[in-house]
Every structure is written in C-alpha cells, then in structure tokens.
Structure 1
C-alpha cells in the first residue's frame, strides 16, 4: 500500500525552515585519526568507527560516557562504505568496497572482550553504501550499490544467533548512501542517491514493517541528499548532513514516524558527509567525516543537544 501525504503537508515540508533553530550543537573530543566513508555502530556506551576511504584499518573507539578515544584491533583489510550494527556485546560489519570500488559480501563480528574480529556468514548480495538497522534480535541490511556502483534493492536479514541470512521484501526505490534506522519496530529508509552519483540525490522516505513484510511510502525527506549520518533520538529519526556534487550539507531534519512528519533542527556546525552518528544519554554524537564533497576526511566530533 502506498501512502500519500496531504497537499497541505507537502507544501509545509517544502517551505523554508524557521529562522529560530531547534536544538544546539557543541564541539566534542576530536578523533585521534581523520576518517571518512566509515561505518559507525554503538554498544555498551561506546561507539566504534570502522573503515576509511583512504585505507586506514585501525578501529577507533569512542567512550560516550567519558568522551575519550581509544583504538582497537584493525579490521582485517582496508574497506570503505561498509555497513554496521551493534547487538549483544558485538559489532557486526557487512560488505563495503575494497580495492577501489569492488563491492564485497564479507561479514565480520568484533568482540570488545577479546579485541578480535571473526568472520561471519557472507552477505548474500555483495554491496556497499547501504544501511543496517537492528529490529528485535535481527539486523536488516538495506539497499546499496554493487561493483560498478549500480544500485541494488536487496534487503537481507541477518540472525546473529544462527549466523544465517534470509531475504526480505526489496527496497522499493533502489539507492545507495541512504539513511537507515529502526524505530518502533519498523525501518525508516530516507534519502540516498542513484548509482553512486551525488548529482542524483533523492528525497524518498520508505518504511518497512516486519510484521507485514511490506514497504510503504512516507513523507519525503525535505532536503534531498546522500551520504548523511543518522540516529534515533526520542523516537525520531534524525538525518544529518550529507553531500551533493557541489557541497557538503549541514542540514538536520528529523522524522516523526507516527505523524508522518519531518521537522528542521539546528544545522550541523561543520557540514560533512561519509560520517556516522549515535545517540547516547539524550544527545546525538556525530563522528569524523568529510567536510568537502568527495574524498576529504576529518576527526571532527560534534554533539547535538535537543
């Protein structure tokens, strides 16, 4: 079933943001190394930064309570545009690009107790620049690009308990560099781009309900963009930053799933793309990323306070 937003709502979403911005940003403790096109996930009060467009493999670990950094065991090989999620004390990493733009299906788990990576069952569709989100005890890997940067609508579900995969309903609008988050037991997929081209950014927002096994349309992302960071705070999905061919975005917009409504918030002080975000203790932490379109990098950390 496809849901169409009322005309009045669409007109509201298209209107410029109010001059008074909601929320505030503050600087955080910079990362010990500059990175971009990373995967970021959190468990047990720590955020993990995996991969790098420029080939760095060392794991960066950010203690969210102490706001301090440390390093962990290097990922098995250089990777960028991988997808990651945390579950029950482990970080799971899926796919990504290696050797330039070769999409792989490799999966790995990191155990902080042993500071070691171990292989897991391969992602059925080798891809990169998609999204991963935890719903219940399973991780959904959605969308992305295959080797050559063409899009795939693949939607596959990983069960950590059995180290196995199942296929689910494909993403209705295939795209990469999209924001994927879980809220209220459903998955929100917002924004992204066509075939790796930041000049072809999308405003699509689509919702997957595991109970029905179907996707539905939702109110479009007000600012079409890709390469954004995203996080869930107070049951809203925040889409932060991103890029086009011409610039990096500082735009921050949050989606209220029950109301099918987007709202604008205070802009990211350092516009970036290719970075990650996690929520912790009522705040959103944005980690590393590129302040320029393309392959730049930074160690920037900025924190959003609602």
Structure 2
C-alpha cells in the first residue's frame, strides 16, 4: 500500500528537556556495563494459531499475551481489527485462546500491572480510522475483561507503560484529519498528539502528566527501566516522518530527559527490556522504500547512553510485539512488509556475553 507523506513538526508545550545523566561515567570508566560485549541469539518457537499483526503485547502470569490487531486465516482476507487474545506458555511451547476483547480493535496499547492486563484505545478499521476512547482490564484468573472509564481522548497507536501500579498513556493518534489519496480505495487517518495521561487503578481515574516534548508522535516503542519510561522512535504522522528521537520520563521527578537517539529513524517496531537494557527490533519503512521493513536489532545501554547492534531478526517485520519472560525476550506476529500484513512467527532472543 503506497502512502502519502504528511509532515507536521508539532512541538509539545513542555519546554526544553535535559540530557539523560550518565550516572555511570564514560565507557572506559565502566568496562562492566551489562551490554558491553552482549550478542544476541534467536530461536523459533511454536507459531501463533493465526496470522497476527499490529498487536498489543505484555507478559502476565508467566505468559506472553497478544491482544487485538489484524488477524488473517491462511489466504483469507485480513480482519483489520479483531477481538483475538492469545497467550504463549514458554514451559509447554504452546498457544492458548482467551476471552476476546469486548470490541474489535487494532493498534491497541497494552501493559500488565498488579496481576492484570490493561488495554487502551485502538482503531476499529484500517488505516488508522475510528480511534476509540475504550479502556479495559483483563483478569487471568477469571478469564474476563471488564470496561474501565474511557480515556480522556479517543486514540490509537498509544504508548502504554506500567510503573509502580500506574498506567502511563503517552502520545497516540486521534485521526482528526481523514485523507483519501487520489485513486485509492482506502482512506487514512492523520493527526498525532503529545498528550500524557496516567490511569490510577486504585481510584479508577485519569490525571494529566507532563506531555511528550518535541514532536507529537505515535507508533513509538515503549520500555520501562526502574522508574523511567523510555519512548523510542515513532512517527509524526506517516512513515516518511519517522523519528530517531529517544525521550525518557522520570516518574520520580516528573521530568522528561533526552537520551541517545536510535541509530536509524523508524516506527512500529517492538521494544522490550532485558538485563537492564532496552532492545528495539524491526520497524517500518526503510528509507527510500514503501515496502521494506527493518530487520535491525539494537540495544540501548543506559549506563553508557549508547546503542549497539545485535544479531538481526530472522526476518524483517513491523507491527509485532515483545515481552520479557524467564530471562528471554519473546517476539510474536508482525508483517514482513510495510502497511498491512500478518505472520504467525514467534521467536525468542537470548543475550550472551
């Protein structure tokens, strides 16, 4: 699917940001950095029961949960927004089906906290159309979803991070502008935000927090290290507006910090934390191409404020998800080409030193 490029340099109202303090000093001063000599090893696991893409993922109760997104059975036409929920059991190398989402959604934001799975926002149609304000919580003991109060704004492709029992909802797409390219059978939703809200499960309420600095964005990678939320890459509106930007929100000081940018601009990759580092894999689209996704895997060491390359993905992709379980990172689904698409692929990444 060929996309038109729309550039918007929207600045958040948070003012400037400070550089991330290098708490460990220089590389020479910290030869024991956890990532200094790390290499990656990939291994295939049991495939998803159906092709999945544009999914939300999180680790809960010892399993990798994959929520919503595009579903495709064999060669059948894809179902762009779905209620599908699967989980992967690493002990048995087996997938299970769980209670469906109450509404078909794609590009839903997912995180786990306090023994529950949380899902926020999403679109009900391609391409980025009909963003929703919906919020849900899933109880794995009862295999049941229940509705939470709506988000303050209807959004899809929102970054969600769980820190100390709170859910941070960062950026996203409100699709306030609908464009139908000449001769195209589909329309596209445009419009990203810098909003940052925090959902408090204890009171069932939302509160505002300092917004994203710099460009408004969605399709960003999100990872949590200690009390800090890393927001990596993403796009201003389209894949021609991809970012290398790497912002870090310190939940203790309520301040945004700048960290080392991604080596290459991209969006819709998968982010996960391992060994005290952030790993970002894949994404769309490679510069100069409307079809080629990234297979790059890069690791961010917060001690050095530096990225380093790891072994590439077994196949390039975007729109997939990742979570950490038992010392390994699990990756599932995604599309090998830019735009729509699915796969049943499941892989683990192990780090060796």
Matches within 5 A, 1:176-191: 176-191=218-233
Worse-matched range after superposition: 57-66 or 266-275: 57-66
Matches within 5 A, 1:143-182: 143-147=171-175, 148-172=189-213, 173-182=215-224
**2:258 corresponds to which residue?**
217
Aligned pair partner of 1:122 in 150, 155, 170: 150
CA distance in 1, matches of 2:58, 2:98: 14
CA distance in 2, matches of 1:121, 1:77: 15
Matches within 5 A, 1:66-145: 66-100=92-126, 101-145=129-173
CA distance in 2, matches of 1:129, 1:182: 18
CA distance in 2, matches of 1:189, 1:40: 16
CA distance in 1, matches of 2:173, 2:146: 24
**1:242 corresponds to which residue?**
283
**1:282 corresponds to which residue?**
327
What RMSD, in angstroms, separates the aligned Cα atoms of the two structures? 1.8
Measured after TM superposition, the shift of residue 217 of structure 1 is 1.1
CA distance in 2, matches of 1:231, 1:45: 16
Measured after TM superposition, the shift of residue 139 of structure 1 is 1.1
Q: Indicate whether 1:46 and 2:63 are aligned.
A: yes
Matches within 5 A, 1:243-262: 243-244=284-285, 245-262=290-307
Higher relative contact order (CA 8 A, sep 6+): 2
CA distance in 2, matches of 1:79, 1:34: 15
Measured after TM superposition, the shift of residue 55 of structure 1 is 2.9
Task: Decide whether the 8 Å contact of 1:42 with 1:278 is kept in 2.
Answer: yes
What is the total number of aligned residue pairs between the two structures? 293
**What is the TM-score of this pair, normalised by structure 2?**
0.80
Task: Decide whether the 8 Å contact of 1:45 with 1:65 is kept in 2.
Answer: no
Give the secondary-structure state (helix, strand or coil) at the position aligned to 2:347: strand
Q: 1:4 to 1:112 in 2, by over 3 A?
A: closer
Give the secondary-structure state (helix, strand or coil) at the position aligned to 1:23: strand
Could you list the runs of 5+ residues in structure 1 that have no partner in the other structure? 10-19
CA distance in 1, matches of 2:255, 2:306: 20
**2:53 corresponds to which residue?**
36
Measured after TM superposition, the shift of residue 145 of structure 1 is 0.8
CA distance in 2, matches of 1:206, 1:129: 17
Task: Decide whether the 8 Å contact of 1:271 with 1:291 is kept in 2.
Answer: yes
